[in-house]
Structure formats: C-alpha cells, structure tokens
Amino acid sequence: MLVTPFTAADSQNLKVEQITHGDKHTFFGYIGHVQNIPWNGNERYIVAMQSTFQDHLPGEGETADIVLIDTHSNYSIDVVEQTQGWNPQQGTMFYWNPEEPDTQFFFNDRDPNTGKVFTALFDIEKRKRVKEYRSGKQPVGNSGVKQTGGAFAAINYARMARLRPVTGYKDATDWTENVLHPKDDGVFVVDTKSGKQSLIVSFAQMADVIRESEPHIDHLALFINHTLWNRDGDRIFFFARAGWRSSKNREHPRVNVPFVVKPDGTGLMRLTHFFGGHPEWDYGHRMIGAMDNRQVIYDVNQNLVVGQIGGNSIFPDPEGDIALSPQGDWFVNGHKDKTLKKNFYNFYRRSDGKLIRSQGFDIGNFVSGDLRQDPSPAWNRSGTQILVPGLVGDSEENLTRQLFVISLPKQ
C-alpha cells in the first residue's frame, strides 16, 4: 500500500498494522461513532465481513460472510455467519450487544424468500443466532443500538435503497413505495428482550414540522439517515432528508433537517441550527458536528453551539467521519483527499490539545458515489486503537478492501 509521509506535526509516530489480507474484501463497514465498536467486550475478537466483489451494490441473493478476527491468534479469520442485508458503506450495521459485549453482536439480514429485512442477534459461544427481530408488516433493520443496551433504533432499508442507495439494501421489500411521507414508517425502536417494535416518529410527523419553513416537502419523499443514541440512552438524533436522487437541475431544493427525540417518541424537536458531517454524541445532551468549517459542540437542549474541538485549522474537513473514544478524551476525524485518493486521520486529545496526524490510506477510484470508501474510523474499547479500511493491490484492477489498526503512542 502506498502511504503519504508524516508531516512535521507528527512528533510521535503512530503504529499502523494491516490485519487482513487475501483476495476477498474485508471491512467493518461503518463509523465507530456512538460507541459502535468492532472489538468485543474483552477485545479478543473483531467482527467484520467479507465479500467477493466491490464493483456494484449487492442485491437479492448476494451474500457476504460474517467473520471473527482473532487478535490473540495472529488475526486469524473464522467465518461464522452470512447475511443478505448489507452494503459496502455501512456493512450490515454490526453492534456488539451492550448487555453481553463479550459474546453477542447484532447484524442485519433479509429473508431470501420474502425480501423482508430483519435484525439478528448472534452468540459467538453458541455459534448461532439466538434471536431474530422480524416484522411482517413493517420489516426494518437495526440503525443504531442504545449505548446502555436493551433496545435499538430501526429504519426501512428498502426505502433507503430507492431514495439513498448507498445506505440501502437493494431489492428488499418496501411497503412504502410511492408514498412521500408514510404514517406507518419512520424511526422505530425495538426492545431487544421482548422484540416489541414501536414507531416513535413517522415521516408524516416529520413532514408536518418541516413544512412550516420548507413547504416544497410536499413534493419530495423523506428518508432517514444516522439514528444515533446518546451515551445516557435518553435521546436519539437523526437527519430527515429528501431530494438526494434528483438531478442537478432539481426543481426543488434538498431537505436536510436534524431532529432529536426521546426514545418513547415524545419531545420531538427540530434543531434550530444545522450542523453537518457525521455527528457524534458527546456527554449528556451535547453533540459534536461541523459548522462554518469548525468542529463544534452543540447543546441540543439549549439549541445552540456551546463550544469547539480544536482550532479552526486543526481538522482539514470537519464534516468528515468522526468518533469520540469510549473514555471521551481522544477524538478522531477521518477525512478524504480526493486528489490524492486517500483517507487520513487526525487524532486530537481534548485534555491538552495534543494533535497527531496519520499517514494516508489508499481508496483508489472509490472516492465518491454509492461504492465509495469512506474513512470510517472505529475505536477499540480501551481508547488506544482505531480500525480503518484501506485498499491494497499492485494495480487499480487488482485492489481489495482490507482492514488496518492504527495504535496511538503509549503515554
């Protein structure tokens, strides 16, 4: 893999190790924000997935292997399951069960006969699925697990495949086709013990709020991105979006509205100020996002910016993929350099402002579009390493997606 040399700002070298190899594409698939951690509770295993292709979005009948990478055995790989509910950018929405983090993880799948999406809970000791969360009328999949455990948010990935393909599951069954703002779809919460599925905010409700300032919402179909639980488990953030599939000469402007809601569906609030990128929860009711080319801290209760991480020149792209370490001290921003065709990572220690910049990780021609390779940094539980993707190969025609571990310098 070609790398970019460290800059003068890198007083201490980061350790970088490629942990997967071979002809298959191996990836975790999503950002490690809201403590979406690839490592299990005791940090022995990293959960990931493997596919045989990266040149198209997977559709009906195209499976990916779910694997465990053993950190105690030279990163050996064990295939434990398969899924038909996945895409290159978000994988299958892996999340270790906060109530059983050593042994259980969630992933999405779809029924090969009905095309309906559902979520499965897998136990690595029993080597089997111990629960499946299915709905006949409203088939949805995990879109974010409650950090304190006991529930997960869920969305309609078939609707996403129509309106935001990069995050959807192509050819899945969609009960909302041709409905702009369905009353029976939106953000769901699923109880992990009982399996009860509740619609906490409908697209119709979102449209009613958005319409006050953007009446053209009546001509656009809404979808959801980024259902993020805060650390205390009493708030869910999400973007309500529309107009992504329109042409550049679109008749109506895009809609991109941040909301916060309580997990029981009460307290729905449109945030006054838009902060972009891929937001992360800080502690309490504060979030980290991008505004005016700054990495800002936004208090959702006060509905205003209350702080900033780093100076204005610290992060080349505050709208990149960001993640806060489990301990809350180290913050990482992953950004993409489209000219160099590489992803870079900027580590910032909040206690003293220490900054470390990483080398570049190749992304080839997967710079943009539905197959793009985003930075997607994901922390380990100790807050000492992140897992990142990169392309490896001797030519553009022979590149595979592989996983790397970046270790912070020992303090």
Average pLDDT over residues 345-356: 96
Domains along the chain with CATH numbers: 15-407 (2.130.10.10)
pLDDT tens for each residue of 67-97: 999 999 999 999 999 999 999 999 999 999 9
Please state, for a pLDDT cut of 70, what percent of the chain lies above it.
96
Contact 128, 122 (CB under 8 A): yes
Give the span between the Cα atoms of 379 and 294, in whole angstroms: 22
Give the span between the Cα atoms of 365 and 101, in whole angstroms: 36
Residue 11 pLDDT level (bands cut at 50, 70, 90): very low
- pLDDT given for residue 5 in this prediction: 35
Greatest Cα pair distance in the chain? 58
Give the span between the Cα atoms of 355 and 240, in whole angstroms: 34
Contact 323, 316 (CB under 8 A): no
Give the span between the Cα atoms of 254 and 252, in whole angstroms: 7
SS3 content of the chain, % helix, strand, coil (to 5): 5, 40, 55
Residue 48: CB partners within 8 Å, gap ≥ 6? 20, 26, 27, 28, 29, 38, 66, 67, 68, 69, 94, 403
Instruction: Check whether 233 has a pLDDT greater than 80.
Output: yes
CA angle 210, 213, 214 (to 5 degrees): 70
- pLDDT given for residue 312 in this prediction: 81
Average pLDDT over residues 10-17: 77
- pLDDT given for residue 246 in this prediction: 62
Average pLDDT over residues 17-43: 96
Residue 2 pLDDT level (bands cut at 50, 70, 90): very low
Q: Which one is predicted more confidently, 87 or 247?
A: 87
- pLDDT given for residue 250 in this prediction: 73
Give the span between the Cα atoms of 410 and 325, in whole angstroms: 15
What are 109's strand-pairing partners?
118
Give the span between the Cα atoms of 182 and 204, in whole angstroms: 6
Enter the tokens of residue 99. 């109530």
- pLDDT given for residue 7 in this prediction: 44
Average pLDDT over residues 197-220: 97
User: In the 8-state DSSP scheme, what is residue 265?
Assistant: S
Average pLDDT over residues 225-232: 96
- pLDDT given for residue 10 in this prediction: 54
Enter the tokens of residue 156. 């309609």
User: In the 8-state DSSP scheme, what is residue 137?
Assistant: S
Give the span between the Cα atoms of 48 and 27, in whole angstroms: 6
Instruction: Check whether 173 has a pLDDT greater than 80.
Output: yes
Instruction: Check whether 1 has a pLDDT greater than 50.
Output: no
- pLDDT given for residue 248 in this prediction: 62
Average pLDDT over residues 302-330: 94
pLDDT tens for each residue of 122-172: 999 999 999 999 999 999 999 999 999 999 999 999 999 999 999 999 999
Beta strands in 203-351 (DSSP E): 222-229, 236-242, 255-261, 269-270, 276-281, 286-291, 294-299, 304-308, 321-324, 330-337, 342-349
Spatial strand order of the sheet with 378-379 comes to 15-18, 400-407, 385-392, 378-379
Averaged pLDDT score across all residues of the chain? 94
Instruction: Check whether 188 has a pLDDT greater than 60.
Output: yes
Residue 328 pLDDT level (bands cut at 50, 70, 90): very high
> Are β-strands 400-407 and 361-362 bridged in parallel, bridged antiparallel, or unpaired?
unpaired
- pLDDT given for residue 6 in this prediction: 37
Please state, for a pLDDT cut of 90, what percent of the chain lies above it.
89
